[in-house]
Structure 1
Amino acid sequence: MGHDDLPPLELAFPGPERDRGVAAILSGEKTSLTGLLEIYEHAGEAVPTAGQRFSVLDSEGRHAVTIELVEVRVVPLKEIDDDFARAEGRGYLGVAEWRTAHEEFFRSDGVSEYLGRTPVIDDDTLVVAERFRVVEPGAPDSP
């Protein structure tokens, strides 16, 4: 299966934030993703499962890299730890910085506009915590 056959994955919104995320995946710094469960529910999308592969898109909507999920958990925000936060590849020193950045994003105008309201973000807010590995470009079927 080529990357054109894979479901697309878009980090944040197009622009600098997405570009930094794609660069962090390509450099190997980013090996985890966090999504707000409410966004999946609003979109009518199933929570991904380990083993699924995605074509990560850049800000122009072009394929940048293929990833494969190795772990997917739906957990309350309070269960994210320092190790997972650092694996986000954004330079977070720990979960406190990670949480501040994610709370800001989850309450951003773009997310609020998409959901039709500003979501409540607290310790019990459910997030989809995913760990992934990069599948080499040009070899999307490699083990």
Structure 2
Amino acid sequence: MRSIELGTPGAMRAELNALVLAGTKTTTTGLLGDYAKETEGLEYPGERLALLDDEGRYVATVEITDAEVTSFAGVTWAHADAEGEGFTSLADWRTGHRRYWAEQGTPVTDETLVVCLAFRLTRAEA
């Protein structure tokens, strides 16, 4: 089973994992370019992934329900809102994600290709 690590290690990853476990976070967005860097294939509907913490420990299993490649400008409010991170609008989501990726060393434009994943929690560590 492949794995997924959300956000960056530390408080961000802990918060995002907690949102998944609470059922609040059911989508996530990544840069398509990161898949090439990591020589990873795209996730696909029905695939199950192990959600990991900072130490690489199993937290839960999520099942991919949708995977779509689109431009940054093409991300919908429905997807952004389902990230469950408290964004109040699509503009707010875009500002937050532009800032995050710029801090990680990859500024994005409206044309930057992103991977929009939707998932459901199937099992959590007791």
User: For this pair of structures, how many residues does the alignment match?
Assistant: 125
For 1:51, what is the secondary structure of its paired residue? Answer: coil
The aligned residue for residue 92 of structure 2 is 97
Larger radius of gyration: 1
Which is strand-richer, 1 or 2? 2
Kindly indicate whether residue 51 of structure 2 is the aligned counterpart of residue 56 of structure 1.
yes
Q: Is the 8 A contact 1:69 1:132 kept in 2?
A: yes
The aligned residue for residue 136 of structure 1 is 123
Kindly indicate whether residue 84 of structure 2 is the aligned counterpart of residue 86 of structure 1.
no
The aligned residue for residue 123 of structure 1 is 110
The aligned residue for residue 12 of structure 1 is 7
Decide which moves more: 30-39 or 75-84. 75-84
Decide which moves more: 99-108 or 67-76. 99-108
* Rounded Cα–Cα distance in structure 2 between residues aligned with 1:102 and 1:58: 21
Unaligned runs of 5+ in 1: 1-5, 113-118, 139-143
Q: Is the 8 A contact 1:83 1:94 kept in 2?
A: no
Give, as a single letter, the amino acid of the residue that structure 1 aligns with 2:121. Answer: V
* Rounded Cα–Cα distance in structure 2 between residues aligned with 1:38 and 1:65: 26
* Rounded Cα–Cα distance in structure 1 between residues aligned with 2:65 and 2:7: 21
* Rounded Cα–Cα distance in structure 2 between residues aligned with 1:50 and 1:100: 28
With normalisation by structure 2, the TM-score equals 0.93
* Rounded Cα–Cα distance in structure 2 between residues aligned with 1:97 and 1:59: 27
Give, as a single letter, the amino acid of the residue that structure 1 aligns with 2:57. Answer: R
- Please provide the CA RMSD for this pair: 1.3
With normalisation by structure 1, the TM-score equals 0.82
Q: Offset of 1:77 from its aligned partner? A: 0.7
